[in-house]
Amino acid sequence: QVQLVESGGGLVQPGGSLTLSCVVSGSIFSIVAKGWYRQAPGKERELVGFITSGGSSNYADSVKGRFTIPRDGAKNTVYLQMNSLKPEDTAVYYCNARGYTDYKSHTFDDWWGQGTQVTVSS
């Protein structure tokens, strides 16, 4: 079984910074993409950003230039560095990983974390 466990959420003032972590464990052959989604109260879940093993990345316009998914660090961990936080960033954040469970797999699997609350307020 593949598990994603998130940590690092909490309360932060506007303009502050916060880093989320997501530890991935289980039987995984390779991860081809890592990313984060978020869902604010009363709103649809939206993509925050993702990076791929091929070197590409994409971020929502609302977080571009402020949020970063680092490529360095533990291979089994997904990070989200958040700077210049705004009240509208308040949401439950979910980490996501896409990959293969073994070398014989023909299709991708998607794995999700349990979610962690980020609240930006003064």
Give the Cα separation of 81 and 41 in Å (integer): 22
Query: What pLDDT, in 10s, does the model give residues 1-31?
Result: 899 999 999 999 999 999 999 999 999 999 9
Beta bridge partners of 116: 93
At 47, the pLDDT band (50, 70, 90 cuts) reads very high
Residue with tokens 């230039």: 65
Residue with tokens 């466990």: 5
Whether 90 shows a pLDDT value over 80: the answer reads: yes
DSSP assignments along 80-93, one per residue:
EEE-S--GGG-EEE
Are the C-beta atoms of 3 and 75 separated by less than 8 Å? no
Supply the pLDDT for residue 23: 95
